[in-house]
Structure 1
Amino acid sequence: MTGPITAGVDGSQESLAALGWAAREAVRRGVALKVVHAWRSQPQEVLEAGIEGDADSQAEWVHSAVTEAVATVTARHPGLEVTTDVVEGEAVGALLAAASAADLLVLGSRGHGRIVGFLLGSVGQQVIAEATRPVVLVRAGDEASGEAAGREVVVGQQGDPEDSAAALRFAFETASARGATVRVVRAWTLPPVFAYSPGSLKLLDEAGGLEPYEKKALAAAVRPWRDRFPEVPVVEHVEMGSAGQVLLSVAGTAQLMVVGRRAHRTAVGARIGSVAHGVLHHADCPVAVVPHA
């Protein structure tokens, strides 16, 4: 990772936690931090107390809030290079543009999947679903203590090795920067009878059964990343169950959860995917959603 890490802020506790997470990650990786705030002028009746109604006063308040947030970060990390970009306009476009120019976009998230501030309802999901770079969602109250030794970077792996290569790369890079263990999780379920074919039955027979087959598939997917990051301890975790349920079952030991999503659009538009959607709703730790082909 050589480009900046970008954090979206809006003054909420969730976004300030995201800013803190992004700053720590930028320091670990030795890259710059960019702070983005997207806003629109609002009529007085919808504003919070203490904010004046005219556009100039609102702009002054926004810039002041961003400056204050950045000052907190630079005080904690004196050597960190920080730039800001306050954009007046539509939130999705501003955040997607910010994501495209960064290696990583970090946003604040409320529990149970609701994203606050300039990310209202479907806006947050649209940013996650359409971003061409990884997006990390951070909950309010997230602290550096959550990244302590012994807490793992957990990543989901499914399909063939190339299907999860982007998520595995992100997980191993993050763990390497943190000195953490990577737990790679592959979930499996019994296929319906009609899904069996002579070819698949032969593969299963050669592997010794379904679970040994899944373990071999996971080992093959992880092998290139073990070789590339020999300093990173790895736990290969194969368990029967739905992918979302198995990932959430180990979330309690995670300092970060990494899941993939397909980057291409479907007939109904961009989608996050059921596994990523479930983890975003229920995991207490920060969650990275990594697009792949």
Structure 2
Amino acid sequence: MDKPVIVGVDGSDPSLRALDWATDEAALHGLPLCVIHSQAWGWYEGYGPTFGPDRSALRVYGENLVGSAVERANRRAAAVKAYGELVTEDPAAVLTRMSREAFAVVVGGLGAGGIAGLPLGSVGLAVAARAQSPVIVVRGDERHLRRSFRRIAVGVDEAEQAHPVVEFALREAELQSAALDAVHAWRCPAREVPDHPDHRSDSERHRALAEDALAEALRPTARVKGVVEVRPQAIEGHARKALLDVANTADLLVVGARRRKSHLGMQLGPVNHAVLHHAPCPVAVVPHA
């Protein structure tokens, strides 16, 4: 059975935009769509849990929300097999668990309990840090959500870890008839000290190394030569700035999951955090091999 696109909904406008985006993604790949709503979503995003007689009303609300979401998906793409599930499990936990058998997990850029100034909801951030499938956080204005730029951007890190990230971005570009901009950021420490005696030659060496690393990471793109326009960009500077700049005119920004363990569990790296909170378009976080 094909792995589904899984989308978490909480009734907020951002989650409905995520639902629409996930429906289009399922149609693009010919995959089923699974709509998930957790009754625990409200308290997870900042509201208190309900323990009194209103728990039955909460369940009815959840069932109606899931049913309406499935109907919305069916109206948007009749060919997509859409179905829904109402769960009581912690939303981040259930989406993370279901990611093991998902093509991708899709969440909105801000949950129903979101706080102004925190552009990414806590559920989305937790899932992006732990999921085993790609996680797509849907954000941006209508130009980006309509996929009107015909352009996919991918951030390329170390070549040996980039394969699943590049493959995901390449498949998206191929199915959407979009160009693929592959960005690899590099820095030259000597160049950042203006009076360093050898900063010019050192800079040229770092640029050459970056271009070689980018070319190696993009070897899988050879299979779509003539089908997808691949545009490598070795950019000097901070990775977060390079990625946010290229995302301005992209329908989707794809990055690898830079995860690290801490006393709080799995955490994303600073570049992942920057693009998830500030990118002007949807962001796909793809686990490294």
With the shorter chain as reference, the TM-score category is: 0.7 to 0.9
1:124 maps to 124
* Structure 2 SS opposite 1:209: helix
Cα separation, 1, equivalents of 2:37 and 2:163: 32
| Equivalence for 1:114 | 119
1:276 pairs with 2:272: yes
Q: Could you state the TM-score of these two structures normalised by the residue count of structure 1?
A: 0.83
1:250-289 superposed matches below 5 A: 250-262=246-258, 265=261, 269-289=265-285
The CA deviation at 1:62 is 1.0
Superposition map of 1:6-25 within 5 A = 6-25=6-25
Report the counterpart of residue 151 of structure 2 in structure 1.
152
Q: Deviations for 1:26-67, whole angstroms, at most 9, x for unmatched residues?
A: 101111111111113989xx68xxxx9611121111111111
Correspondence for 2:197: none
Does residue 162 in structure 1 map to residue 149 in structure 2?
no
Aligned CA RMSD, in angstroms, stands at: 2.9
CA distance in 1, matches of 2:140, 2:99: 21
Q: 2:169 aligns with which of 144, 168, 171?
A: 171
- Residue 214 (1) aligns with residue 188 (2): no
Counterpart CA distance in 2 for 1:217 and 1:279 is 22
CA distance in 1, matches of 2:82, 2:143: 20
Q: Output one character per residue of 1:106-133: Cα deviation in whole Å (capped at 9) or x when no partner.
A: 00013865334xxxx3x43222111111
Q: Structure 1's 42 and 151: CA in aligned 2 closer, same or farther, altered over 3 A?
A: closer
The 1:144/1:183 distance shift into structure 2, 3 A limit, reads closer
Larger mean CA deviation between 95-104 and 27-36 belongs to 95-104
Structure 2: distance between partners of 1:71 and 1:144: 24
Unmatched tracts of structure 2, length 5 or more: 111-115, 192-200
- Which ranges in structure 1 are unaligned for 5 or more consecutive residues? 194-203
Amino acid at match of 2:167: R
Greater shift in the superposed pair: 19-28 or 136-145: 136-145
**Aligned pair count?**
269
2:221 maps to 1:226:
yes
Q: Please give the alpha-carbon distance, in whole angstroms, between the structure 1 residues aligned to 2:240 and 2:118.
A: 14
| Paired residue secondary structure (2:83) | strand
Distance 1:84 1:145, change over 3 A: closer
Counterpart secondary structure, 2:79: coil
Q: Any conservation in 2 of the 1:153–1:182 contact (CA below 8 Å)? A: yes
Misfit runs of 4+, over 4 Å: 140-145
C-alpha displacement at 1:261, in angstroms?
A: 1.4
Asked if the contact 2:145/2:282 (under 8 Å) is kept, the reply is no
User: Among the aligned pairs, what percent are the same residue?
Assistant: 34
Aligned residues of 1:113 and 1:280 also touching (Cα < 8 A): no
Residue 197 of structure 1: aligned partner: none
**SS of the counterpart of 2:248?**
helix
Check 1:208–1:92 CA distance in 2 against 1; reply closer, same or farther (3 A cut).
closer
Which digits, 9 at most, give the CA deviation of each residue in 1:153-208, with x for residues without a partner? Answer: 1010122x212112111100111111111100000001369xxxxxxxxxx99x96
Match in the other structure for 2:138: 138
Distance 2:42 2:218 in 1: 50
Equivalent residue, structure 2, for 1:28: 28
- Of residues 266-275 and 213-222 in structure 1, the stretch that sits farther from structure 2 once superposed is 266-275
